[in-house]
Structure 1
Amino acid sequence: MGFEQHVPAADQAAFPLRRADADGIATITLDHAPSRNALSDAMIAALSDTLDSIAEDRGIRVVILTAEGPAFCAGHHLKEMTARRADPDGGAAYFADLMQRCSALMQKIVALPQPVIASVEGVATAAGCQLVASCDLAVAGAKARFATPGVNIGLFCSTPMVALSRNLANKHAMEMLLLGELADAETAHRFGLVNRVAPEGEALAQARAMATTIASKSGHTLAIGKRAFYAQREMGLEEAYDYAAKVMAENMMARDAEEGIGAFIEKREPRWQGR
Protein backbone atom coordinates (compact mmCIF):
# COMPACT_ATOMS: atom_id res chain seq x y z
CA MET A 1 0.00 0.00 0.00
CA GLY A 2 1.14 3.55 -0.69
CA PHE A 3 0.20 6.85 -2.20
CA GLU A 4 1.61 9.19 -4.78
CA GLN A 5 1.25 12.93 -4.59
CA HIS A 6 0.25 14.34 -7.99
CA VAL A 7 0.88 18.03 -8.62
CA PRO A 8 -1.09 19.74 -11.44
CA ALA A 9 1.14 21.23 -14.13
CA ALA A 10 -0.13 24.72 -13.29
CA ASP A 11 1.07 24.32 -9.71
CA GLN A 12 4.38 22.65 -10.48
CA ALA A 13 6.45 25.83 -10.23
CA ALA A 14 5.05 26.45 -6.74
CA PHE A 15 5.45 22.81 -5.66
CA PRO A 16 8.11 21.39 -7.98
CA LEU A 17 8.41 17.88 -6.58
CA ARG A 18 6.45 14.68 -6.01
CA ARG A 19 6.28 12.29 -3.06
CA ALA A 20 5.29 8.64 -3.29
CA ASP A 21 5.09 6.27 -0.29
CA ALA A 22 5.19 2.48 -0.39
CA ASP A 23 6.33 -0.23 2.04
CA GLY A 24 7.81 2.19 4.56
CA ILE A 25 9.79 4.08 1.90
CA ALA A 26 9.06 7.69 0.90
CA THR A 27 10.39 8.64 -2.53
CA ILE A 28 10.80 12.36 -3.15
CA THR A 29 11.27 13.25 -6.82
CA LEU A 30 12.54 16.70 -7.77
CA ASP A 31 10.48 17.54 -10.85
CA HIS A 32 11.13 20.92 -12.42
CA ALA A 33 12.95 20.27 -15.68
CA PRO A 34 12.91 23.92 -16.90
CA SER A 35 15.26 24.89 -14.06
CA ARG A 36 17.15 21.59 -14.06
CA ASN A 37 15.65 21.00 -10.61
CA ALA A 38 17.48 24.02 -9.22
CA LEU A 39 17.07 24.95 -5.57
CA SER A 40 14.76 27.87 -6.28
CA ASP A 41 12.78 29.52 -3.51
CA ALA A 42 9.87 27.24 -4.41
CA MET A 43 12.00 24.09 -4.47
CA ILE A 44 13.61 24.85 -1.10
CA ALA A 45 10.20 25.51 0.46
CA ALA A 46 8.60 22.40 -1.07
CA LEU A 47 11.44 20.11 -0.08
CA SER A 48 11.56 21.55 3.43
CA ASP A 49 7.79 21.12 3.90
CA THR A 50 7.93 17.55 2.57
CA LEU A 51 10.74 16.61 4.95
CA ASP A 52 8.79 18.12 7.86
CA SER A 53 5.83 15.91 6.96
CA ILE A 54 8.00 12.80 6.67
CA ALA A 55 9.73 13.49 9.99
CA GLU A 56 6.37 13.12 11.77
CA ASP A 57 5.31 10.01 9.81
CA ARG A 58 6.05 6.90 11.88
CA GLY A 59 5.12 4.72 8.91
CA ILE A 60 8.15 5.93 6.94
CA ARG A 61 11.48 4.29 7.73
CA VAL A 62 13.60 5.38 4.76
CA VAL A 63 13.60 8.26 2.26
CA ILE A 64 14.88 8.22 -1.32
CA LEU A 65 15.67 11.56 -2.97
CA THR A 66 15.71 11.38 -6.76
CA ALA A 67 14.93 13.60 -9.75
CA GLU A 68 13.31 13.72 -13.18
CA GLY A 69 15.17 14.89 -16.25
CA PRO A 70 18.82 15.18 -17.30
CA ALA A 71 19.92 16.90 -14.08
CA PHE A 72 19.60 15.75 -10.50
CA CYS A 73 19.94 19.33 -9.26
CA ALA A 74 21.76 22.27 -10.83
CA GLY A 75 22.28 24.09 -7.55
CA HIS A 76 20.90 27.53 -6.78
CA HIS A 77 18.59 29.21 -9.30
CA LEU A 78 21.05 31.80 -10.65
CA LYS A 79 18.49 33.68 -12.77
CA GLU A 80 16.18 33.99 -9.76
CA MET A 81 19.10 35.23 -7.67
CA THR A 82 20.32 37.69 -10.29
CA ALA A 83 16.87 39.26 -10.57
CA ARG A 84 17.14 40.31 -6.92
CA ARG A 85 20.08 42.59 -7.72
CA ALA A 86 17.34 45.07 -8.63
CA ASP A 87 16.34 45.24 -4.92
CA PRO A 88 17.16 48.54 -3.18
CA ASP A 89 20.04 46.86 -1.32
CA GLY A 90 21.33 45.09 -4.43
CA GLY A 91 19.94 41.79 -3.17
CA ALA A 92 22.06 41.62 0.00
CA ALA A 93 19.18 40.79 2.37
CA TYR A 94 17.72 38.25 -0.05
CA PHE A 95 21.06 36.49 -0.61
CA ALA A 96 21.68 36.23 3.14
CA ASP A 97 18.19 34.84 3.72
CA LEU A 98 18.48 32.40 0.80
CA MET A 99 21.73 30.93 2.08
CA GLN A 100 20.25 30.55 5.56
CA ARG A 101 17.16 28.78 4.16
CA CYS A 102 19.28 26.46 2.02
CA SER A 103 21.60 25.69 4.94
CA ALA A 104 18.58 24.94 7.14
CA LEU A 105 17.31 22.52 4.47
CA MET A 106 20.59 20.61 4.41
CA GLN A 107 20.60 20.39 8.21
CA LYS A 108 17.00 19.17 8.10
CA ILE A 109 18.12 16.20 5.98
CA VAL A 110 20.82 15.35 8.52
CA ALA A 111 18.38 15.76 11.44
CA LEU A 112 15.60 13.73 9.82
CA PRO A 113 14.91 10.59 11.90
CA GLN A 114 14.82 8.44 8.77
CA PRO A 115 17.92 7.66 6.67
CA VAL A 116 17.97 9.50 3.33
CA ILE A 117 19.39 7.93 0.14
CA ALA A 118 20.20 10.11 -2.87
CA SER A 119 19.63 8.46 -6.25
CA VAL A 120 21.55 10.46 -8.85
CA GLU A 121 21.40 10.32 -12.62
CA GLY A 122 22.75 13.24 -14.65
CA VAL A 123 24.52 16.19 -13.05
CA ALA A 124 24.54 17.41 -9.46
CA THR A 125 26.32 20.74 -9.24
CA ALA A 126 27.03 23.35 -6.53
CA ALA A 127 24.15 23.21 -4.01
CA GLY A 128 22.93 20.13 -5.89
CA CYS A 129 26.20 18.41 -5.05
CA GLN A 130 25.73 19.69 -1.49
CA LEU A 131 22.31 18.03 -1.48
CA VAL A 132 23.89 14.67 -2.34
CA ALA A 133 26.61 15.10 0.28
CA SER A 134 23.98 15.94 2.92
CA CYS A 135 22.15 12.64 2.39
CA ASP A 136 23.16 9.64 4.49
CA LEU A 137 23.77 7.40 1.49
CA ALA A 138 24.02 7.95 -2.25
CA VAL A 139 23.84 5.84 -5.41
CA ALA A 140 25.02 7.29 -8.72
CA GLY A 141 24.24 6.16 -12.22
CA ALA A 142 27.33 5.45 -14.33
CA LYS A 143 26.96 8.71 -16.26
CA ALA A 144 26.22 10.92 -13.25
CA ARG A 145 28.51 13.92 -12.81
CA PHE A 146 29.28 16.04 -9.76
CA ALA A 147 30.86 19.47 -9.35
CA THR A 148 31.18 22.50 -7.12
CA PRO A 149 31.90 24.94 -9.96
CA GLY A 150 31.23 28.22 -8.17
CA VAL A 151 34.89 29.18 -8.39
CA ASN A 152 34.46 29.36 -12.19
CA ILE A 153 31.90 32.19 -11.89
CA GLY A 154 33.43 34.10 -9.00
CA LEU A 155 31.21 32.54 -6.32
CA PHE A 156 33.10 30.04 -4.16
CA CYS A 157 30.90 27.11 -3.08
CA SER A 158 31.26 27.91 0.62
CA THR A 159 28.04 26.31 1.87
CA PRO A 160 28.48 23.16 -0.27
CA MET A 161 31.97 23.05 1.25
CA VAL A 162 30.46 22.30 4.67
CA ALA A 163 28.82 19.09 3.46
CA LEU A 164 31.74 18.09 1.23
CA SER A 165 34.32 18.52 3.98
CA ARG A 166 32.29 16.20 6.21
CA ASN A 167 32.15 13.46 3.56
CA LEU A 168 35.41 13.64 1.63
CA ALA A 169 39.06 13.65 2.59
CA ASN A 170 40.34 17.22 2.78
CA LYS A 171 42.36 17.09 -0.43
CA HIS A 172 39.50 15.52 -2.37
CA ALA A 173 37.09 18.20 -1.15
CA MET A 174 39.57 20.96 -1.96
CA GLU A 175 40.16 19.48 -5.41
CA MET A 176 36.47 19.76 -6.20
CA LEU A 177 36.14 23.23 -4.67
CA LEU A 178 39.28 24.78 -6.19
CA LEU A 179 39.22 23.26 -9.65
CA GLY A 180 35.46 23.44 -10.19
CA GLU A 181 35.62 20.52 -12.62
CA LEU A 182 33.03 17.82 -13.22
CA ALA A 183 33.84 14.56 -11.45
CA ASP A 184 32.48 11.36 -12.97
CA ALA A 185 30.60 8.77 -10.95
CA GLU A 186 33.65 6.57 -10.38
CA THR A 187 35.65 9.54 -9.10
CA ALA A 188 32.76 10.51 -6.81
CA HIS A 189 32.78 6.95 -5.49
CA ARG A 190 36.55 7.02 -4.96
CA PHE A 191 36.25 10.36 -3.17
CA GLY A 192 33.51 9.04 -0.87
CA LEU A 193 30.70 11.26 -2.17
CA VAL A 194 28.62 8.25 -3.25
CA ASN A 195 28.36 4.71 -1.88
CA ARG A 196 27.73 2.83 -5.09
CA VAL A 197 27.82 3.30 -8.85
CA ALA A 198 25.01 1.63 -10.78
CA PRO A 199 24.67 1.06 -14.52
CA GLU A 200 23.15 4.07 -16.27
CA GLY A 201 19.45 4.36 -15.48
CA GLU A 202 19.58 1.91 -12.57
CA ALA A 203 20.51 4.19 -9.68
CA LEU A 204 16.93 4.37 -8.44
CA ALA A 205 16.52 0.59 -8.56
CA GLN A 206 19.68 0.14 -6.48
CA ALA A 207 18.60 2.88 -4.09
CA ARG A 208 15.25 1.11 -3.67
CA ALA A 209 17.02 -2.17 -2.95
CA MET A 210 19.07 -0.48 -0.25
CA ALA A 211 15.97 1.24 1.11
CA THR A 212 14.06 -2.04 1.24
CA THR A 213 16.82 -3.62 3.33
CA ILE A 214 16.91 -0.63 5.68
CA ALA A 215 13.11 -0.49 5.92
CA SER A 216 13.11 -4.05 7.29
CA LYS A 217 14.82 -2.76 10.44
CA SER A 218 13.25 -1.10 13.47
CA GLY A 219 12.42 2.52 12.66
CA HIS A 220 13.02 3.39 16.31
CA THR A 221 16.51 1.90 16.17
CA LEU A 222 17.32 3.61 12.87
CA ALA A 223 16.41 6.99 14.34
CA ILE A 224 18.57 6.37 17.43
CA GLY A 225 21.53 5.32 15.30
CA LYS A 226 21.35 8.15 12.79
CA ARG A 227 21.07 10.79 15.51
CA ALA A 228 23.98 9.28 17.45
CA PHE A 229 26.20 9.00 14.38
CA TYR A 230 26.09 12.70 13.60
CA ALA A 231 26.27 13.75 17.25
CA GLN A 232 29.39 11.70 18.12
CA ARG A 233 31.20 12.77 14.96
CA GLU A 234 31.53 16.30 16.33
CA MET A 235 33.02 15.10 19.64
CA GLY A 236 36.49 14.17 20.83
CA LEU A 237 37.26 10.46 21.16
CA GLU A 238 36.65 10.10 24.90
CA GLU A 239 33.47 12.19 24.82
CA ALA A 240 32.22 10.26 21.80
CA TYR A 241 32.68 6.91 23.55
CA ASP A 242 30.97 8.18 26.71
CA TYR A 243 28.05 9.45 24.65
CA ALA A 244 27.79 6.31 22.49
CA ALA A 245 27.91 4.04 25.57
CA LYS A 246 24.96 5.93 27.09
CA VAL A 247 23.03 5.77 23.84
CA MET A 248 23.62 2.03 23.51
CA ALA A 249 22.62 1.35 27.12
CA GLU A 250 19.41 3.34 26.63
CA ASN A 251 18.82 1.56 23.31
CA MET A 252 19.02 -1.78 25.14
CA MET A 253 15.97 -0.73 27.15
CA ALA A 254 13.87 -0.19 24.00
CA ARG A 255 11.11 -2.70 23.26
CA ASP A 256 12.48 -3.25 19.75
CA ALA A 257 15.93 -4.17 21.10
CA GLU A 258 14.35 -6.70 23.44
CA GLU A 259 12.28 -8.08 20.57
CA GLY A 260 15.17 -8.14 18.09
CA ILE A 261 17.56 -9.93 20.43
CA GLY A 262 14.83 -12.39 21.42
CA ALA A 263 14.01 -13.08 17.77
CA PHE A 264 17.68 -13.71 17.00
CA ILE A 265 18.01 -16.16 19.89
CA GLU A 266 14.76 -17.89 18.93
CA LYS A 267 15.70 -17.94 15.22
CA ARG A 268 12.60 -16.11 14.00
CA GLU A 269 11.80 -12.83 12.28
CA PRO A 270 11.41 -9.86 14.65
CA ARG A 271 8.10 -8.06 15.02
CA TRP A 272 9.01 -4.39 15.36
CA GLN A 273 6.82 -2.12 17.47
CA GLY A 274 8.64 1.15 16.85
CA ARG A 275 9.46 1.79 20.50
Structure 2
Amino acid sequence: MNLHHQSEATPALLRQDAEGIATLTLNRPQSRNPLSEAMLAALAESFTAIAADRSVRAVVLAAAGPVFSAGHDLKEMTAHRADPDRGRAYFAEILGRCSAVMQQITALPQPVIAAVEGTATAAGCQLVASCDLAVAGTEARFCTPGVHIGLFCSTPMVALSRNLAAKHAMEMLLLGEMVPATEAARMGLVNGVVPAGEALTEALRLGAIIASKSRATVRIGKRAFYEQREMGLKAAYDHAAAVMVENMLARDAEEGIGAFMEKRPPVWERS
Protein backbone atom coordinates (compact mmCIF):
# COMPACT_ATOMS: atom_id res chain seq x y z
CA MET A 1 0.00 0.00 0.00
CA ASN A 2 2.78 2.40 0.84
CA LEU A 3 4.38 1.78 -2.53
CA HIS A 4 1.06 2.49 -4.24
CA HIS A 5 0.63 5.77 -2.39
CA GLN A 6 4.24 6.68 -3.11
CA SER A 7 3.69 6.04 -6.82
CA GLU A 8 0.52 8.13 -6.91
CA ALA A 9 2.29 10.97 -5.10
CA THR A 10 5.03 11.04 -7.75
CA PRO A 11 4.23 13.44 -10.59
CA ALA A 12 2.90 11.69 -13.70
CA LEU A 13 4.96 14.08 -15.83
CA LEU A 14 8.34 15.62 -15.04
CA ARG A 15 9.61 18.89 -16.53
CA GLN A 16 13.22 20.02 -16.71
CA ASP A 17 14.33 23.22 -18.44
CA ALA A 18 17.84 23.97 -19.71
CA GLU A 19 19.28 26.14 -22.48
CA GLY A 20 15.87 27.04 -23.89
CA ILE A 21 14.67 23.41 -24.05
CA ALA A 22 11.86 22.04 -21.88
CA THR A 23 12.13 18.28 -21.42
CA LEU A 24 8.90 16.54 -20.46
CA THR A 25 9.22 12.98 -19.20
CA LEU A 26 6.30 10.57 -18.91
CA ASN A 27 6.81 9.21 -15.40
CA ARG A 28 4.62 6.16 -14.87
CA PRO A 29 7.07 3.40 -15.90
CA GLN A 30 5.47 0.74 -13.65
CA SER A 31 2.21 1.02 -15.60
CA ARG A 32 3.87 1.53 -19.02
CA ASN A 33 3.29 5.29 -19.12
CA PRO A 34 -0.37 5.11 -20.15
CA LEU A 35 -2.23 8.15 -21.43
CA SER A 36 -4.45 7.99 -18.37
CA GLU A 37 -6.68 10.77 -17.06
CA ALA A 38 -3.81 11.98 -14.87
CA MET A 39 -1.22 11.83 -17.67
CA LEU A 40 -3.44 13.64 -20.16
CA ALA A 41 -4.20 16.34 -17.58
CA ALA A 42 -0.49 16.75 -16.82
CA LEU A 43 0.40 16.99 -20.52
CA ALA A 44 -2.36 19.52 -21.18
CA GLU A 45 -1.27 21.66 -18.25
CA SER A 46 2.39 21.54 -19.26
CA PHE A 47 1.72 22.40 -22.91
CA THR A 48 -0.47 25.33 -21.85
CA ALA A 49 2.32 26.64 -19.61
CA ILE A 50 5.02 26.11 -22.26
CA ALA A 51 2.96 27.87 -24.95
CA ALA A 52 3.08 31.05 -22.84
CA ASP A 53 6.74 30.63 -21.80
CA ARG A 54 8.89 32.73 -24.12
CA SER A 55 12.08 31.29 -22.63
CA VAL A 56 11.26 27.86 -24.09
CA ARG A 57 12.33 27.48 -27.71
CA ALA A 58 11.95 23.72 -28.14
CA VAL A 59 10.34 20.82 -26.29
CA VAL A 60 11.62 17.26 -25.92
CA LEU A 61 9.13 14.54 -24.97
CA ALA A 62 10.71 11.48 -23.36
CA ALA A 63 9.63 8.65 -21.06
CA ALA A 64 10.95 6.86 -17.99
CA GLY A 65 11.38 3.09 -18.07
CA PRO A 66 11.40 0.49 -20.87
CA VAL A 67 8.10 1.58 -22.48
CA PHE A 68 7.57 5.00 -24.06
CA SER A 69 3.79 4.75 -23.78
CA ALA A 70 1.28 1.91 -24.03
CA GLY A 71 -1.52 4.28 -24.99
CA HIS A 72 -4.90 4.61 -23.32
CA ASP A 73 -5.38 3.14 -19.84
CA LEU A 74 -7.65 0.21 -20.72
CA LYS A 75 -8.33 -0.52 -17.02
CA GLU A 76 -9.70 3.01 -16.56
CA MET A 77 -11.79 2.70 -19.69
CA THR A 78 -13.11 -0.81 -18.98
CA ALA A 79 -14.23 0.21 -15.47
CA HIS A 80 -16.77 2.55 -17.07
CA ARG A 81 -18.55 -0.28 -18.92
CA ALA A 82 -20.55 -0.59 -15.70
CA ASP A 83 -21.94 2.93 -16.20
CA PRO A 84 -25.66 3.17 -17.14
CA ASP A 85 -24.67 4.18 -20.70
CA ARG A 86 -22.07 1.37 -20.87
CA GLY A 87 -19.32 3.99 -20.82
CA ARG A 88 -20.35 6.00 -23.88
CA ALA A 89 -20.04 9.42 -22.20
CA TYR A 90 -16.73 8.53 -20.54
CA PHE A 91 -15.22 7.12 -23.75
CA ALA A 92 -16.21 10.28 -25.62
CA GLU A 93 -14.71 12.46 -22.90
CA ILE A 94 -11.37 10.64 -22.59
CA LEU A 95 -10.91 10.38 -26.36
CA GLY A 96 -11.77 14.06 -26.70
CA ARG A 97 -9.21 14.96 -24.05
CA CYS A 98 -6.56 12.86 -25.77
CA SER A 99 -7.32 14.42 -29.15
CA ALA A 100 -7.10 17.88 -27.58
CA VAL A 101 -3.60 17.12 -26.23
CA MET A 102 -2.46 15.92 -29.67
CA GLN A 103 -3.78 19.15 -31.19
CA GLN A 104 -2.01 21.15 -28.48
CA ILE A 105 1.28 19.75 -29.75
CA THR A 106 0.49 20.94 -33.27
CA ALA A 107 -0.66 24.35 -32.02
CA LEU A 108 2.31 24.84 -29.69
CA PRO A 109 4.56 27.70 -30.88
CA GLN A 110 7.65 25.62 -30.08
CA PRO A 111 8.62 22.48 -32.02
CA VAL A 112 8.19 19.23 -30.08
CA ILE A 113 10.68 16.37 -30.48
CA ALA A 114 9.87 12.84 -29.30
CA ALA A 115 12.77 10.81 -27.87
CA VAL A 116 11.63 7.19 -28.05
CA GLU A 117 13.18 4.20 -26.32
CA GLY A 118 11.21 0.97 -25.96
CA THR A 119 7.71 0.57 -27.32
CA ALA A 120 5.15 3.19 -28.34
CA THR A 121 1.81 1.55 -28.97
CA ALA A 122 -1.73 2.69 -29.87
CA ALA A 123 -2.25 6.24 -28.52
CA GLY A 124 1.41 6.15 -27.47
CA CYS A 125 2.31 5.75 -31.14
CA GLN A 126 -0.17 8.54 -31.89
CA LEU A 127 1.73 10.75 -29.44
CA VAL A 128 5.00 10.16 -31.33
CA ALA A 129 3.34 10.79 -34.70
CA SER A 130 1.84 14.03 -33.37
CA CYS A 131 5.26 15.47 -32.49
CA ASP A 132 7.02 17.68 -35.05
CA LEU A 133 10.17 15.55 -34.98
CA ALA A 134 11.00 12.16 -33.49
CA VAL A 135 14.14 10.14 -32.88
CA ALA A 136 14.29 6.52 -31.77
CA GLY A 137 16.79 4.23 -30.14
CA THR A 138 17.57 1.05 -32.08
CA GLU A 139 15.43 -1.05 -29.70
CA ALA A 140 12.34 1.16 -30.08
CA ARG A 141 9.19 -0.42 -31.53
CA PHE A 142 5.96 1.12 -32.79
CA CYS A 143 2.53 -0.43 -33.10
CA THR A 144 -1.18 0.34 -33.52
CA PRO A 145 -2.49 -3.02 -32.25
CA GLY A 146 -6.16 -2.18 -31.71
CA VAL A 147 -7.22 -4.48 -34.55
CA HIS A 148 -6.12 -7.46 -32.40
CA ILE A 149 -8.65 -6.65 -29.66
CA GLY A 150 -11.56 -5.50 -31.78
CA LEU A 151 -10.83 -1.79 -31.33
CA PHE A 152 -9.45 -0.22 -34.53
CA CYS A 153 -6.93 2.54 -33.77
CA SER A 154 -9.11 5.24 -35.36
CA THR A 155 -7.80 8.24 -33.41
CA PRO A 156 -4.11 7.24 -33.81
CA MET A 157 -4.98 6.91 -37.51
CA VAL A 158 -5.41 10.70 -37.75
CA ALA A 159 -1.78 11.38 -36.80
CA LEU A 160 -0.41 8.38 -38.71
CA SER A 161 -2.22 9.26 -41.93
CA ARG A 162 -0.79 12.78 -41.79
CA ASN A 163 2.79 11.59 -41.32
CA LEU A 164 3.12 8.34 -43.26
CA ALA A 165 2.33 7.40 -46.83
CA ALA A 166 -1.23 6.03 -47.01
CA LYS A 167 -0.18 2.40 -47.53
CA HIS A 168 2.34 2.53 -44.68
CA ALA A 169 -0.32 3.94 -42.34
CA MET A 170 -2.85 1.31 -43.43
CA GLU A 171 -0.26 -1.43 -43.01
CA MET A 172 0.28 -0.44 -39.38
CA LEU A 173 -3.45 -0.04 -38.72
CA LEU A 174 -4.66 -3.22 -40.47
CA LEU A 175 -1.90 -5.61 -39.38
CA GLY A 176 -1.25 -4.27 -35.87
CA GLU A 177 2.30 -5.61 -35.98
CA MET A 178 5.34 -4.21 -34.19
CA VAL A 179 7.40 -1.96 -36.45
CA PRO A 180 11.13 -1.79 -35.58
CA ALA A 181 12.87 1.57 -35.33
CA THR A 182 14.69 1.31 -38.66
CA GLU A 183 11.43 0.50 -40.45
CA ALA A 184 9.68 3.37 -38.64
CA ALA A 185 12.37 5.70 -40.00
CA ARG A 186 11.86 4.35 -43.52
CA MET A 187 8.12 4.93 -43.15
CA GLY A 188 8.63 8.48 -41.91
CA LEU A 189 7.26 7.93 -38.41
CA VAL A 190 10.62 8.97 -36.94
CA ASN A 191 13.37 11.17 -38.38
CA GLY A 192 16.24 8.94 -37.45
CA VAL A 193 17.56 6.04 -35.38
CA VAL A 194 20.41 6.23 -32.88
CA PRO A 195 22.07 3.64 -30.63
CA ALA A 196 19.84 2.37 -27.82
CA GLY A 197 19.82 4.79 -24.90
CA GLU A 198 20.85 7.81 -26.98
CA ALA A 199 17.45 9.02 -28.24
CA LEU A 200 17.20 11.70 -25.55
CA THR A 201 20.71 12.97 -26.29
CA GLU A 202 19.90 13.20 -30.00
CA ALA A 203 16.57 14.90 -29.34
CA LEU A 204 18.31 17.46 -27.14
CA ARG A 205 20.89 18.03 -29.88
CA LEU A 206 18.13 18.77 -32.37
CA GLY A 207 16.41 20.96 -29.80
CA ALA A 208 19.60 22.96 -29.30
CA ILE A 209 19.85 23.62 -33.03
CA ILE A 210 16.24 24.82 -33.10
CA ALA A 211 16.82 26.93 -29.98
CA SER A 212 19.67 28.73 -31.77
CA LYS A 213 17.30 29.98 -34.48
CA SER A 214 14.99 32.99 -34.37
CA ARG A 215 12.15 32.14 -31.98
CA ALA A 216 9.70 34.28 -33.94
CA THR A 217 10.65 32.70 -37.26
CA VAL A 218 10.30 29.14 -35.96
CA ARG A 219 6.89 30.02 -34.51
CA ILE A 220 5.72 31.52 -37.82
CA GLY A 221 7.02 28.55 -39.81
CA LYS A 222 5.53 25.82 -37.62
CA ARG A 223 2.10 27.44 -37.64
CA ALA A 224 2.17 27.97 -41.41
CA PHE A 225 3.29 24.38 -42.04
CA TYR A 226 0.25 22.87 -40.35
CA GLU A 227 -2.15 25.46 -41.73
CA GLN A 228 -1.13 24.96 -45.37
CA ARG A 229 -1.13 21.18 -45.06
CA GLU A 230 -4.91 21.18 -44.63
CA MET A 231 -5.47 23.32 -47.76
CA GLY A 232 -5.71 22.69 -51.49
CA LEU A 233 -2.64 23.51 -53.59
CA LYS A 234 -3.60 27.05 -54.69
CA ALA A 235 -4.91 28.02 -51.25
CA ALA A 236 -1.74 26.64 -49.67
CA TYR A 237 0.49 28.73 -51.96
CA ASP A 238 -1.62 31.84 -51.40
CA HIS A 239 -1.47 31.36 -47.64
CA ALA A 240 2.27 30.60 -47.62
CA ALA A 241 3.00 33.67 -49.75
CA ALA A 242 0.99 35.90 -47.42
CA VAL A 243 2.85 34.47 -44.43
CA MET A 244 6.19 35.02 -46.15
CA VAL A 245 5.37 38.67 -46.91
CA GLU A 246 4.72 39.28 -43.21
CA ASN A 247 7.83 37.30 -42.33
CA MET A 248 9.96 39.41 -44.71
CA LEU A 249 8.84 42.54 -42.86
CA ALA A 250 9.67 41.08 -39.43
CA ARG A 251 12.69 42.32 -37.52
CA ASP A 252 14.50 38.95 -37.44
CA ALA A 253 14.20 38.45 -41.21
CA GLU A 254 15.69 41.89 -41.83
CA GLU A 255 18.49 41.08 -39.38
CA GLY A 256 19.07 37.58 -40.76
CA ILE A 257 19.22 38.65 -44.40
CA GLY A 258 21.42 41.61 -43.51
CA ALA A 259 23.77 39.38 -41.53
CA PHE A 260 23.97 36.91 -44.43
CA MET A 261 24.84 39.67 -46.89
CA GLU A 262 27.37 41.17 -44.48
CA LYS A 263 28.87 37.72 -43.75
CA ARG A 264 28.35 37.96 -39.99
CA PRO A 265 26.35 35.89 -37.46
CA PRO A 266 22.78 37.14 -36.96
CA VAL A 267 21.67 38.49 -33.58
CA TRP A 268 18.11 37.31 -33.02
CA GLU A 269 15.49 39.10 -31.02
CA ARG A 270 15.57 37.55 -27.55
CA SER A 271 12.26 38.73 -26.11
How many aligned residue pairs are there?
Answer: 266
SS in 2 for 1:63: strand
Residues 43-97 of structure 1: per-residue CA shift (max 9 Å, x gap): 0000010000000001111000000001000000011111111222211100011
SS in 2 for 1:241: helix
User: Structure 1: which amino acid aligns with 2:250?
Assistant: A
For residues 224 and 110 of structure 1, the distance between their equivalents in structure 2, rounded to whole angstroms, comes to 13
Q: How does 1:197-236 map to 2 (within 5 A)?
A: 197-236=193-232
Query: Could you say which residue in structure 1 is the equivalent of 2:268?
Result: 272
| Runs of 4+ in structure 1 over 3 Å off | none
- By how many angstroms is 1:268 displaced? 2.0
Query: Could you say which residue in structure 1 is the equivalent of 2:72?
Result: 76
The match for 1:32 among 5, 28, 34 is 28
Query: Could you say which residue in structure 2 is the equivalent of 1:102?
Result: 98
Normalised to the residue count of structure 2, the TM-score between the two structures is: 0.96
SS in 1 for 2:164: coil
Query: Could you say which residue in structure 1 is the equivalent of 2:258?
Result: 262
Q: What runs of 5+ residues in structure 1 fail to find an aligned partner?
A: 1-7
Q: Does 1:165 align with 2:161?
A: yes
User: Structure 2: which amino acid aligns with 1:109?
Assistant: I
Question: Identity over the aligned pairs, expressed in percent?
Answer: 68
Residues 144-166 of structure 1: per-residue CA shift (max 9 Å, x gap): 00000000011000000000000
Normalised to the residue count of structure 1, the TM-score between the two structures is: 0.95
Q: Does 1:127 align with 2:158?
A: no
Greater shift in the superposed pair: 79-88 or 115-124: 79-88
SS in 2 for 1:269: coil
For residues 85 and 34 of structure 1, the distance between their equivalents in structure 2, rounded to whole angstroms, comes to 25
Query: Does structure 2 retain, via aligned residues, the 8 Å contact 1:139–1:195?
Result: yes
For residues 46 and 241 of structure 1, the distance between their equivalents in structure 2, rounded to whole angstroms, comes to 37
User: Structure 1: which amino acid aligns with 2:124?
Assistant: G
User: Structure 2: which amino acid aligns with 1:156?
Assistant: F
User: Structure 1: which amino acid aligns with 2:119?
Assistant: V
For residues 260 and 50 of structure 1, the distance between their equivalents in structure 2, rounded to whole angstroms, comes to 32
Query: Could you say which residue in structure 2 is the equivalent of 1:250?
Result: 246
For residues 23 and 56 of structure 2, the distance between their equivalents in structure 1, rounded to whole angstroms, comes to 10
- By how many angstroms is 1:265 displaced? 1.8
- By how many angstroms is 1:200 displaced? 0.6
For residues 263 and 168 of structure 2, the distance between their equivalents in structure 1, rounded to whole angstroms, comes to 45
Inter-CA distance 10–133: structure 2 relative to 1 (3 Å threshold): closer
Inter-CA distance 47–71: structure 2 relative to 1 (3 Å threshold): same
SS in 2 for 1:227: helix
